[in-house]
Amino acid sequence: MNEFERNFFDNSENDEVLNQEFEANPGDMELGERACEPSYIWNSDDFEKKTSSCTSIDKVQPNFDKKVKFSKNMKRYIAIATALAVVNLVALGGIFAVGYGVGAGKLGGEGKKNVIANLHQNDGSTAGLIQTVNKGEELSTVDISKKVGPAVVGITSTVNNIMNIFGGTTTSEGTGSGIIISSDGYIITNNHVIEGASLVNVTLNTGSEYEAKVIGSDSKTDLAVIKIKPDETLTVAELGDSSQIQVGERAIAIGNPLGMEFFGSTTQGIISAINRTINVDNRTMSVIQTDAAINEGNSGGALVNAYGQVIGINTVKIASSSVEGMGFAIPISEAKPIVEDLINYGYVKGRPVLGISARDVTRDMAQRQGWPMGVQVMSTQVGSGAEIAGLEQGDIIFKADGKDVKNFDDLSKIKDAHKPGEVIKLEVYKYETGLNKTISVKLTEERPD
Measured between alpha carbons, how far is 219 from 195 in angstroms, rounded to an integer?
8
Contact indicator for 348, 339 with CB cutoff of 8 Å: no
Measured between alpha carbons, how far is 121 from 117 in angstroms, rounded to an integer?
6
Q: Which of 52, 299, 357, 379 is catalytic?
A: 299
Measured between alpha carbons, how far is 432 from 3 in angstroms, rounded to an integer?
10
Per-residue 3-state assignment (H helix, E strand, C coil) for 288-357:
EEECCCCCCCCCCCEEECCCCCEEEEEEEEECCCCCCCCEEEEEHHHHHHHHHHHHHHCCCCCCEECCEE
Nearest alpha carbon to residue 212 among 248, 188, 236, 235: 188
Contact indicator for 320, 53 with CB cutoff of 8 Å: no
* CA 6 to chain centroid: 33
Residue at 265: amino acid letter: S
Residue 410 annotated among the catalytic residues of the structure: no
Residue 192 annotated among the catalytic residues of the structure: yes
- Read off φ and ψ for residue 57, nearest 5 degrees: -105, 125
Measured between alpha carbons, how far is 207 from 197 in angstroms, rounded to an integer?
22
Measured between alpha carbons, how far is 27 from 44 in angstroms, rounded to an integer?
14
Residue 222 annotated among the catalytic residues of the structure: yes
Nearest alpha carbon to residue 188 among 27, 341, 350: 341
Q: Which of 45, 46, 123, 222 is catalytic?
A: 222
Q: Which of 52, 65, 145, 192 is catalytic?
A: 192
Residue at 81: amino acid letter: A
**Positions marked active-site:** 192, 222, 299
